[in-house]
A and B are shown apart, each in its own frame.
Chain A
Amino acid sequence: MSEIAPKELRIVGFLCNWCSYGGADTAGVSRFRQPTDLRIIRVPCSGRVDPLFIVKALLNGADGVLVSGCHPRDCHYTDGNFYARRRLEMLKQLLPYLGIDEKRFHYTWISASEGQRWQKTVTDFTNQIHKLGPLHSTTEAHSGS
């Protein structure tokens, strides 16, 4: 690793099997370069993602969490991602009360064909987390907005 390369941070991604996991595969097949911080967990549907997973991850060592599902209306399970959207939006509002900057959590919709969009999402989110820095070495002030 070159000396100037910043140290990796911990980013957890929950990706739905049908769209976003496929989108990440497409980005791979197309050899779209991405930062290496992200660790991907495959779930059947973004609606499977329990907000508690995200809170647990952030409290236990993750510096950022990304959730990605199918585009609204294009859910493999009809409307699992609508449930996801409702829950994840609520979580976003809640995070500041836990003393976590809501910018450390992002959810998005990416289809299996959108490799380029996946690349951009990962790159932007990773950069954002690096800008915020590590969550656990510094004591983050209660950043309730």
Chain B
Amino acid sequence: MRVGVFICHCGSNIAGTIDVAKVAAEMRKVPGVAFATNYMYTCSEPGQDEIKEAIKREKLNRIVVAACSPRMHELTFRRTIEKAGLNRYFLEMANIREHISWIGLDKEANTNKAIESVKMAVAKAMNNKPLYSQSFKVNKRVLVIGGGVAGMQAALDCADGGLEVILVEKSPSVGGMMARLDKTFPTIDCSICILGPKMVDVAQHDKIKLYAYSEVDDIKGYVGNYQIKIKKKATYVDWVKCTGCGACMEKCPAKNSYDHFNFGVAPTRAINIPFPQAIPKKAKIDPNYCRQFVKGKCGVCAKICPTGAINYEMQDEIITEDVGAIIVASGYGLVDMDKFPEYGAGRYPDVITGIQYERLLNASGPTEGHILRPSDKTEPKTVVFVSCAGSRDKSCGIPYCSNFCCMYIAKQAILTKDHIPDSQSYVFYMDIRSPGKGYDEFTRRAQEDYGAKYVRGRVSRIYPKGKKMVVVGADTLLGTQVEVEADLVVLATAVTAAPGAPQLAEKLHISYDTFGFYVEGHPKLRPVETNTAGVYLAGCAQGPKDIPASVGQGSAAASKVQALFSKDMLESDPAVAKVNENTCVGCLKCIMTCPFGAVKEKELRGGRIVANVIETVCAGCGVCTATCPCGAIQLSHFTDNQLLAEVNTICQK
């Protein structure tokens, strides 16, 4: 065995707190190590060349790179040694940056820890065996979860590139939050006018199959070959027959149904089409309000419907689709008003949220674009905007910035003045965050051209006084208390993860952070990938972001899928379990524990039963290996011998 050890300085990132020369010197004393050196940047081209040259010159057959996390560069160095003729699994990495040099300043202790960590990697590498991938066919269909602007962009880009797309949207129409907006910053162009055509394209594209009012029920498989179960929720309206005429909606007697699309700023009917531009433009019954369901009698819509589309007996339906990649664009939610007792916790009708205000501004909204107070349907003359309602507020459990509220408040202040010229807007803010192109100019326009008064400070309390709402806050610039008597108060409520985001992540086997936002592969370099091969992210599902950024990620995720699908065959990961038929006693415990059903029974010629792993199904978790009483089923690259070699390096009595 001739092991080569390469220790990276990573500039001063590693060399600053680890004596790398000493680590190299110590490694030269380790039995089996034929060569050890330290280098400024091992991942650089000359750094990689040095590895390749040393492999040839020193006849090395196992390589250890001590550098950053293998999660960062394992693939890089695997390719490097492969180019020099070694099997890529002859590489081991020791993580001496994230796990050592960056977390302690004591150079002596760090150096000592690094020496041991590299020794562990050497011990493991000496036990590494060559592994070879198999290639398998990739199913070039893509599933997009969520039909907001990010998901639609991803779906359209994939479909335009010739891929078949399955688009699953939870709500009855595609469009997401953007479909609810009136105008969009910083150009003030009409939201639905730019989104509507995309929605129609989605509906009409012959490569896109849209499942609206549907959810992903179950996901099986792996990159290239996923089996998806989709639950089509019962709408109680046969969408093949429904023409979207809306006759049912006019006659439905359940007039006080909660309007999810309008965020409850006005009621709707139990049977409804969410908004005029809805795609698909089909009606659906809300059984929580429908009298046929609640009281057991009504049937008005069934009588009215000219096509006989109503079906109160409809059941949820499960559909199966096979795809090769998944884009998750399930968007965001907004924090509930009941989180804010100091602002009335949603009890005051004239204290509303930003998204509700969008609906009041919107010509297709419940007030047809006239700004009217919910309480008495009068025009407000004084409107107060409260930024960071929940955002950047640790007591609310939301330490992060919601990203786009500062901008939409400026937009709404401008629009308020446009709608009601004799109105006055006040904005209570913590900081004005407007770093995008043309954004800062936009927030200035709100103040300079539209006269919005910006007050820097938090609002401590809102209470009713006659017909007015009194907003009490501090002006931290002047150091004074401010009170504004407002007709309408708009809270910029914090962005949260979409409802059900963690559950969806668990189905996809992707990570989510403390707040429920999905974790990207790398915060800078892999913004739309996840750590699960074949699953990509777009839009606010990954974190709060505005429309341009969401669209950008939608396109980025689509291009990642195109790249993945540019090959007909994918290489399987050969780090899978293997059974030693001589030692297997056929107890079949491994079959019972494998989470993927990858182990099957096999009858040998003599009739003896042993376990057998289906390589393409095995995901490489190693649960079976820890289960087997005989050590007969071993997960390649993480065998008992390999892991114990590491343990034994640390633990020598």
Residues of A within 8 A of B (CB): 1, 5, 8, 10, 12, 17-19, 21-22, 24-25, 27-29, 31-36, 39-45, 47-51, 53, 56-57, 60-62, 70, 73-80, 83, 87, 111-114, 119, 136
Contact = CB atoms under 8 A, between A and B. Distances in A.
B70 interface: yes
Contacts of B100: 36
27 contacts: A21-B69, A22-B71, A24-B99, A25-B98, A29-B102, A34-B104, A36-B104, A39-B120, A40-B117, A41-B646, A41-B647, A43-B622, A44-B622, A47-B622, A47-B623, A50-B626, A53-B643, A53-B647, A57-B651, A60-B647, A60-B653, A62-B650, A70-B511, A76-B509, A78-B509, A83-B627, A113-B511
A19 B648 contact: no
A47 B626 CA distance: 7
Contacts of A44: 575, 620-622, 635, 638
Nearest to B509: A76
B108 A78 contact: no
Interface in B602-635: 619-623, 625-627, 635
B595 A10 contact: no
Interface residues of B, number: 57
B621 A12 contact: no
B622 A48 contact: yes
B626 A83 contact: yes
Interface of B: 69-72, 95, 97-100, 102-106, 108-110, 112-113, 116-117, 120, 502, 505-506, 509, 511-514, 519, 531-532, 575, 593, 595-596, 619-623, 625-627, 635, 638, 640, 643-644, 646-648, 650-653
Given A24-B99, A28-B103, A47-B626, 18 more contacts: A17-B71, A21-B69, A22-B531, A36-B104, A45-B621, A47-B623, A50-B626, A57-B651, A61-B651, A74-B506, A76-B532, A77-B619, A77-B621, A78-B596, A83-B626, A111-B513, A114-B514, A136-B653
A39 B71 contact: no
Given A18-B511, A31-B102, A1 B650 contact: no
A35 B113 CA distance: 11
Contacts of B519: 111-113
Nearest to A74: B506
Given A22-B71, A83-B627, A113-B514, A36 B596 contact: no
What are the 7 tightest A-B residue pairs by CB atom distance, in nearest-first order? A28-B98, A48-B622, A61-B651, A77-B621, A47-B623, A113-B513, A60-B651
A136 B652 CA distance: 11
Contact of A111 (B70, B108, B511): B511
Given A39-B117, A77-B596, A113-B513, A24 B98 contact: yes
Contacts of B116: 39
Contact of B595 (A50, A77, A136): A77
Given A25-B98, A56-B647, A78-B595, A48 B635 contact: yes
Nearest to A48: B622
A48 B650 contact: no
Contacts of B513: 111, 113
A119 B102 CA distance: 12
B120 A41 contact: yes
A87 B117 CA distance: 27
Contact of B113 (A17, A19, A29, A36): A36
Contact of B106 (A21, A36, A75): A36
B650 A12 contact: yes
Do most interface residues of chain A lie in helix, strand or loop, or is the interface mixed?
Answer: loop
Nearest to A19: B511
B652 A61 contact: yes
Contacts of A25: 69, 71-72, 95, 98-99
Contacts of A33: 103-105
Contacts of B112: 8, 36
A73 B502 CA distance: 9
Contacts of B505: 74
Contact of B99 (A5, A40, A76): A40
Contacts of B640: 50
Contacts of A10: 650-651
A48 B506 contact: no
A36 B109 contact: yes
Nearest to B220: A78
- Which of A36, A62, A74 has most chain B Cβ within 10 Å? A36
A43 B643 contact: yes
A137 B71 CA distance: 37
A24 B102 CA distance: 11
A89 to B, nearest CB: 14
Contacts of A50: 625-626, 640
Contact of A112 (B110, B511, B648, B650): B511
Contacts of A21: 69, 71
Nearest to B124: A41
A56 B595 CA distance: 27
A31 B98 CA distance: 8
Contacts of A112: 511, 519, 531
Nearest to A11: B650
Contacts of B646: 41
Contact of B644 (A22, A53, A73, A83): A53
Contacts of B72: 25
B521 to A, nearest CB: 10
Most buried by A among B506, B596, B647: B647
A137 to B, nearest CB: 11
Nearest to A58: B651
